[in-house]
Amino acid sequence: MMNADASPGVGGAMVADGPYVFEIEPMVGITVTAAVEWDLTLIQPRVTDELPVASPPVTYEGNGSTIVGPVQFSGGGRETITFAHEGEGWVDVYIYPQNGDYSEFPFTDSGTFEGETTVQSEGTSWITVQASGQWTLALESATG
């Protein structure tokens, strides 16, 4: 679920491997109001020839919410992530390892900001950016 101040449209969640059936039924007291038609799409991202794994250094740029990757992390704080955002509302950046290990939340902030931290994730991961404005995310090897 996304913050009320976040840009709507994209989110991610870690779930156990296996088949899922989603039944969406009207609920009493819940109303969807939208200026345009909307739908719900569930995907399982996979590494493919068309979507190969990137290794740092790599930079992503965007406007609003999205999912980027896949990215290969070495683990143990050997990569640095830098994030800059120009906009209003909350900004959340999540790293979801493809193997289902613990997800990492390197940035949760609001408004215009810049930040840098090391990443503990290891292996192939996907990065979810929930933002309301322009952003840049850069990953670099902390060892050189």
Residue 112 pLDDT level (bands cut at 50, 70, 90): very high
CATH architecture of residue range(s) 1-144: Sandwich (2.60)
**pLDDT score recorded for residue 140:** 94
1 pLDDT more than 80: no
Share of the chain above pLDDT 90, in %: 39
Q: Counting Cβ atoms within 10 Å, is residue 107 exposed (0-12), middle (13-18) or buried (19+)?
A: buried
| Predicted confidence (pLDDT) per residue in 39-60, tens digit | 666 666 778 888 889 999 999 9
Sequence spans of domains, the chain:
1-144
**With a threshold of 0.75, does the pTM exceed it?**
no
Which residues contact residue 88 at a Cβ distance below 8 angstroms, ignoring those fewer than 6 apart?
A: 5, 110, 111, 132, 133
Cis peptide before 8 (omega within 30 of 0): no
Residue 129 confidence (pLDDT): 93
* 70: pLDDT strictly greater than 80: yes
Query: Which of the four pLDDT bands, split at 50, 70 and 90, describes residue 111?
Result: very high
Q: Name the pLDDT band for 2 (thresholds 50, 70, 90).
A: very low
Whole-number average pLDDT of the chain: 80
Helix (H, G, I), strand (E, B) or coil at 3: coil
